[in-house]
Structure 1
């Protein structure tokens, strides 16, 4: 009986843990990202859309900000937000953005210039 419990317990723990996507979604709101980038990560007039962006691109950006590297005044606003992020949190956030699958009727893309968005 104890062998069965030892086999089942780790599976139950893994099933209960939120996915990387869900962790990223939770971080997005907990860290206040939605205040600038919008509830649906679709960007605002001043801040770029993050939903549907390439994971590698966003990871690179967040890692640079965490290292206090911002190429524009607007991107330097991201430095304080990124400095406290761990590699695992950056992975979760960028998973959320790149795999974004929330209610698409709420998605409002930034219709301005796309480029790197400055942040």
Structure 2
């Protein structure tokens, strides 16, 4: 019974989608996108975070918040993680583990109406 209550309390307080949206806002507000990319897909130096298991992400962020970084890149994350509350870690990891790719409804179609005929 207690496990069910602990599971339902965050959903009732924040709503399932609200936690995701809060995590999305935090991802950009905290500057995570600067290293991990706008789509959380990572870069050549920094790992992808989107679609990772929530438990793994929570574990990593809590270790970093406790100033436990085992590599130089991980140690760079410590100042970012130190400022996160448990609720913020929950929101960020919900966003990242449940990541939904935003696809643009518009597609790019080049407009060649003002280009020349190709001759000079």
Say which structure, 1 or 2, has more relative contact order (CA 8 Å, 6+ apart): 1
Aligned position for 2:118:
none
Aligned length: 92
Aligned position for 1:57:
56
Report SS of the residue matched to 2:48.
Answer: coil
Matches within 5 A, 1:26-105: 26-103=25-102
Report SS of the residue matched to 1:52.
Answer: coil
1:55-84 superposed Cα distances (whole Å, 9 cap, x missing partner) = 000000000000000010110000000001
TM superposition shift of 1:102: 2.4
If you compute each CA radius of gyration, which structure gives the higher value, 1 or 2? 2
Mapped to 2, the partners of 1:67 and 1:104 lie a distance apart of 36
Cα RMSD (Å): 2.1
Report SS of the residue matched to 1:44.
Answer: coil
Gaps of 5+ in 1: 1-13, 106-119
After TM superposition, the score normalised by the length of structure 2 is: 0.71
Q: Which portions of structure 1, spanning 4 or more consecutive aligned residues, are displaced by more than 4 angstroms?
A: none
Aligned position for 2:22:
23
